[in-house]
Amino acid sequence: MPSPAPEPRFAKVAAMIGDPTRARMLAALMGGQYLAAGELAAAAGIGASAASAHIAKLIDAELVVLRSQGRHRYLRLADAEVAKVLEALSFVAERSAHDDKWARGAYRPLKAARTCYSHVAGELGVALFEGLLVRETLVPSGGHYALSSRGRDELAALGVALPQGDDATDTRRFAHACFDWSERRDHLAGSLAVALFELGLERDWLRRTAGSRALQLTPPGAQALEPWLGAAAQRSARAACHCA
């Protein structure tokens, strides 16, 4: 009888993610921030000692990283690749969900706008990405996206710290599509998306919702982003009435 194939290396990672308690912790970290060990314990609904055991397993599996400050321990997802895996699993889990689910309770704010690790997702993220394309701020480049000359001027005037070095020249890292599991369309990912998100928080255009991945777009934020959000809305309106 032939010997069995070696266990796939992803089996250990899948086991880490598949545990309901650790899954709740990882979901809490999808906001992209460092969270205290106590906050993760609260998110998972368990005590401190049990949380420590689960956190140790997540660190060992290289799914999260630890930062100690004094007596306090803070955790975040190890990197964007881990976030991509969790987002992909979310899409698989939600693909059979009915649309009316997103209009109810705590799901509605997440559908409107939320963090996808370190960039904006949900209706707001999709609309912003579409607006960047409609205005040709971003243009296709080898399966990914690059800034047009006008787009570079527009975002520089907005105050966006445009990525430099490898991230500015490698379009795979600079700007690429990320499939949005609630909208079934793409939002923007990459170093440009991170820069836009960080500027939004700094300028109070975007506000985090405590204890949630949900984001709020403030009136100043709506005004600052109106050239792109307005372009997306106009395109949607034309599509709805079948206008060219």
Q: Give CA–CA dist 96/2, Å, rounded.
A: 39
Quick one: pLDDT at residue 244? 41
> Is 234 a residue whose pLDDT tops 70?
yes
Burial 206-232 (b: 16+ CB within 10 A, else e): bebbeeebbbebeeebeebbeebbebb
| pTM: predicted TM-score of the whole model, two decimal places | 0.76
Q: Categorize the per-residue pLDDT at 213 as very low, low, confident or very high, splitting at 50, 70 and 90.
A: confident
pLDDT of residue 168: 52
**Residue 117 burial (CB < 10 Å; 0-12/13-18/19+)?**
buried
Measure the CA–CA gap between 225 and 155, rounded to whole angstroms.
Answer: 10
CATH 3.40.640.10 fits 10-78, yes or no: no
| First-residue to last-residue Cα distance in the chain | 65
| Max avg pLDDT among 78-92, 94-108, 167-181, 194-208 | 194-208
For residue 224, give Cα distances in angstroms to 124, 158, 200: 13, 8, 9
Sheet of 72-77: strands edge to edge?
Answer: 35-36, 72-77, 64-69
The model's confidence at residue 181, banded by pLDDT at 50, 70 and 90, is confident
Q: What is the pLDDT of residues 146-162, one digit of tens each?
A: 999 999 999 999 999 88
Which secondary-structure segment (H or E) carries 12?
Answer: helix 10-18
Question: Quick one: pLDDT at residue 96?
Answer: 65
Domain ranges within the chain, ordered by starting residue: 10-78, 98-240
pLDDT of residue 126: 96
| Among 24-33, 58-67, 168-177, the least confident range | 168-177
